[in-house]
Amino acid sequence: MISLANKTVLITGGSRGIGRAAAILMAKAGADIVFSYYRNEQAAEEVVAEIGKAGHRGISVAGNIAEESHCRELVDTACREFGKLDVLVNNAGIWTYAPIDEMKEDVYRETIDINLSGLIYVTRYAVQQMKKQGQGRIINLSSTAGQRGEAFHSHYAATKGAIISLTKSWATELGPSIQVNCVAPGWVDTDMSSGPLADPEQYKQIVSLIPLRRVATAEEIAGPILFLASDLSNFITGEILNVNGGAVLVG
């Protein structure tokens, strides 16, 4: 029922975790995929192969999402190879530990540059293309941390809160032709959160605060991303879709 036939999708951070799951699922729904990755070429090649198995083209582009030139290259690649850009999924991000009284400037700057500046850069170029087409969809990845904050990760939480505000701002700015929505996951079983989740005591504490008593799989976040990219969400914009097992209940 959900179809992305003849759609071109650009995903930042598509070689692992949520980005990988979204790339494969959206290819299975009919889309051609362009995705960025930073260093792991083998992982990127595996995603391209999985997209190919779904009968569609996958193109990986290596680079640092914090660099504006790379963000432009991503959009240019999608337009050059497929002639258009229908959906942008702003997924790339990092999560690092930093108590505020010990936070080093390079740690803070890295998080801001990757999680926020890169998202703004790639969205700028994607919107320029979407305006030419007269249509497009943008799906941002935030987090429960952007809604309630997160001790010892305040720099991360700040970027994710900003993404929520950007989603609402862009939805009103870019409508009616471009829809902008956001998916806000809680704990997800990916490389980024493997440290705490691998510790039995920490895992027990984490799931005790989740009504569904488990963490999400990457595929369970990819599903809502696919929904927001599809025609089933035609009358939704500026929305924050919480996918957290009930851990954070907000209106």
Cβ partners under 8 Å of residue 215, min gap 6: 186, 187, 188, 189, 193, 197, 206, 207, 245
Catalytic residue selected from 143, 193, 194, 208: 143
Catalytic residue selected from 117, 156, 230, 233: 156
Our answer to whether residue 125 is catalytic in this structure is no
The DSSP result for the chain, as a single string, is ----TT-EEEESS-SSHHHHHHHHHHHHTT-EEEEEESS-HHHHHHHHHHHHHTTS-EEEEES-TTSHHHHHHHHHHHHHHHS---EEEE---------TTT--HHHHHHHHIIIIIHHHHHHHHHHHHHHHHT-EEEEEE--THHHH--TT-HHHHHHHHHHHHHHHHHHHHHTTTEEEEEEEE-SB-SGGGHHHHHSHHHHHHHHHTSTTSSPBPHHHHHHHHHHHHSGGGTT--S-EEEESTTSS---
Our answer to whether residue 104 is catalytic in this structure is no
Catalytic residue selected from 37, 142, 160, 233: 160
Our answer to whether residue 143 is catalytic in this structure is yes
Residues with active-site annotation:
143, 156, 160
